Amino acid sequence: MVKLKNINKIFNINTINENHVLKNINLEVNKGDFITIIGSNGAGKSTLFNAISGNQPLTSGEIFLNSNNITFVKEHLRSKYIGRIFQNPLLGTAGKMTLEDNMIITRSKGFKKLKISLNNKIRNEFKEKLKILDMDLENRLKDNVGQFSGGQRQALTLLMMVLSNPELVLLDEHTAALDPRNAQKVLDLTAKFIDEYSLTAMMITHNMEHAIKYGNRLLMMDKGEIILDISGQEKSNLTVEELIQKFHDIRSENFINDETLLS
């Protein structure tokens, strides 16, 4: 359903700071895949998501979604079918606006009309949906989202994104900025939604256990390349030790020293 063909991303091309961040990446994401992605800091994971979401143009290569070439489609148009959540919980919602106003904006994608949609019927719909989160947000429709915790905001972003029926979901370490309890809660919700709504998703994580536990397929990135692509039975049998060993075999570097991956 998503196909990346010979993708290259080079920052500061033809300068002394030239940085070849994505190196000829080829990847096919199948419908229903839940892919976890690991890799050390600077491996190019977020850049890969920027490429898929259209946040940054490619240096070369092509991107297809359901066999449509979307390489040159603008980010805001891609977001109608690609949902993305960032590590920073503030990026998903407008903190200075109330919860109900936020939900009006995320209720439907695309340009907004000059009409007032918010009424009590819609409010009740919102409350029903918010109950799924089990965070008591259904009673705080008139509070500014800025008063919510990072975990609540991220759960909210997740809920609103899921309800928009995205064809592809990109999660970029979306629990990394949360405290452990909230991180677990958001992660549980993530897995639940992806399963219940049969979403196709890619999730970057720095936690190898999570990468193994969640999803049906695991990618490991290093220095701009996908160096490992495991799925099915092989993935579910994987252990953290084996994962480190595999990296070691491929890169013949000592993975254990890479603290960012083990943190």
Ligand X SMILES: Nc1ncnc2c1ncn2[C@@H]1O[C@H](COP(=O)(O)OP(=O)(O)O)[C@@H](O)[C@H]1O
User: What is the binding site for Mg ion (CB under 5 A)?
Assistant: 46
What separation in angstroms does the CA of 246 have from each of 24, 167, 186, 228, 251? 22, 32, 29, 8, 9
121 belongs to the binding site for another protein (CB under 8 A): no
Q: How far is the CB of 175 from ligand X (least distance, A)?
A: 15
- Residue that the structure tokens 């799925």 belong to: 231
Q: How far is the CB of 222 from another protein (least distance, A)?
A: 28
Binding residues among 145-184 for another protein as defined by CB under 8 A: 161
Site string for ligand X, 12-41 (x = CB under 6 A): -------x-x-----------------x-x
Distance CA 123, CA 103 (A): 9
Distance CA 262, CA 258 (A): 7
Binding residues among 43-72 for ligand X as defined by CB under 6 A: 43-47
| Residue 238 contact partner, candidates Mg ion, another protein, ligand X, none, CB within 5 to 8 A by sort of partner | none
Q: What is the DSSP letter of 136?
A: S
Stretch that binds another protein, among 19-27, 63-71, 102-110, 242-250 (CB under 8 A): 102-110
List beta partners, residue 209: none
119 belongs to the binding site for another protein (CB under 8 A): no
- Within 10 angstroms of residue 18's Cβ, the number of other Cβ atoms is 10
Q: Which is nearer to another protein, 190 or 207 (CB)?
A: 190
Q: Which two tokens stand for residue 171?
A: 């999660």
Distance CA 246, CA 168 (A): 28
Stretch that binds another protein, among 9-17, 38-46, 68-76, 188-196 (CB under 8 A): 68-76
3-class secondary structure, 59: coil
Let me know: does 48 contact 221? Beta carbons within 8 Å.
Answer: yes
The contact set with ligand X (CB under 6 A) reads 11, 19, 21, 39, 41-47
